[in-house]
Amino acid sequence: MCKVVPYESLTARDDSLRYGIPMRHNIRRSFTGVLTLGCLIALTTSTPAGGVTERHLFDALLLRYDREPDGAVKDALAARIDAIAHQKYATVSRLYWHVDFASATAAARQQGWPILHLRMLGSLEQDLSCANSRLFRATLYANQDLSQFLREHFVLYWSSERPVPRVTIDYGDGRTLQRTTAGNSAHYILDQDGNVLDVLPGLYSPDSFRRELEGSLALVRDVRHKSAEQRAALVADYHRQRVSAAERDWQRLAGAPLMAGLRQQPIPPRGETSLAAAQRATVTKAAIELRDLRVFAKGLAPDAVSTDQIEVWSAAGRLLYGPGGLDEASRALVVRLHNASTPELRANDRELRAMIARLEQTILADTALNQLRVRPQIDREIVRGGGRIEFSALNAWIYAQVFRTPREDAWLGLLQRDIFTGLPGDGVGWRATR
């Protein structure tokens, strides 16, 4: 029987007691593994007792995971840790996410911290979440310095805008490719009551993401204990300053070689489909999804962002916001995921170096694109609302006007009733979902 001991009463060296078993060397490894797995299941599926909470269990299991040698027991621990953390690869990120808004606000009030609210398509607990959230897991949350910063300053909470569209390409011989399409994400900075203070849309380099969050934390401190009117005025002024900062960044680029015409590069036309517009919203995500889109919906796919454009946007990001490379932990996770396939499909060292270099380049391009074009749109909308915009209204506006995937467009432009496909009902299928 597993004895549950209050987490607060244990020291690091006593972590084995949290699973009800002493880790003595004279116990056979196989028997230990069976007991450990049994106790893990009991702890993580029963009602918490003795002061043990889900967050406490998460911390305790991480301690056990770090001491466990590679093998089936450690793999089982990793799966349980992910389930409790509500995030894939939580053994790398060490981040615990709330999935209930009430519990997030309660934790924020208890700790005196703001909430970092990830709004995404799909689930952070699944591999096939939207492309941006997958990139967040590998390049932001896995970054060790950034992960520690998030753990020390924010209560983390994620919610889903809607299920992420998935595509399966079946080659007819047993081989398939699974992808997602047209999913974008944003990080909202909320006060302890859930009021929106700031928004970071899309993907950033780790250094830039932390720097922008530090600016958001300054706003959190400024509005604390202020009246609703004072808070709204401070929020509006903050975003007014953000628009001015973006304008100064544009002016810096105007004098840089090869970048003088960057601001004049065309914005996607309003006449194109939601799917095409959504793919243009980011550089890194487009690199993942555009080739797939050209296979299954060639007529709806926008032109790919040219290599020259990516290089210019990346250079702008490096000039304005720093090099922003991936740290060792992120690189290791990226390589692990990239090569999680059959041996004959695994990339060699040269291919891995090229892949990581391209990833870092597109992340820098996205950082510049977000700071110069995307985020100022949101800043202006918050200013127009006088700093009083509620999350639901702002989020709906962002997905409709900025990410170009409005909730009311259920098919994201893929189902066009004025085109004959030769398929019964244009291939539409319905499947009951929970």
DSSP result, 254-276: HTSTTTTTGGGSPPPPTTS-HHH
Q: Residue 253: its pLDDT value, please?
A: 92
Q: Residue 23: its pLDDT value, please?
A: 35
**What are 142's two structure tokens?**
């896995």
Q: Residue 178: its pLDDT value, please?
A: 84
**What are 129's two structure tokens?**
């979440």
With beta carbons less than 8 A apart as the criterion, state whether 312 and 258 touch: yes
Q: Residue 166: its pLDDT value, please?
A: 85
Q: Which residues of the chain have pLDDT under 50?
A: 1-38, 40-51, 269-271, 296, 298-302
Residue type, 193: D
Coil, strand or helix at 194: coil
Measure the CA–CA gap between 276 and 273, rounded to whole angstroms. Answer: 5
**What are 331's two structure tokens?**
């690189």
Q: Residue 284: its pLDDT value, please?
A: 62
Other beta carbons within 10 Å of 294: 14
The pTM of this model reads 0.82
Q: Residue 19: its pLDDT value, please?
A: 32
Q: Residue 308: its pLDDT value, please?
A: 79
Q: Residue 152: its pLDDT value, please?
A: 97
Burial class (CB in 10 A: 0-12, 13-18, 19+), 272: middle
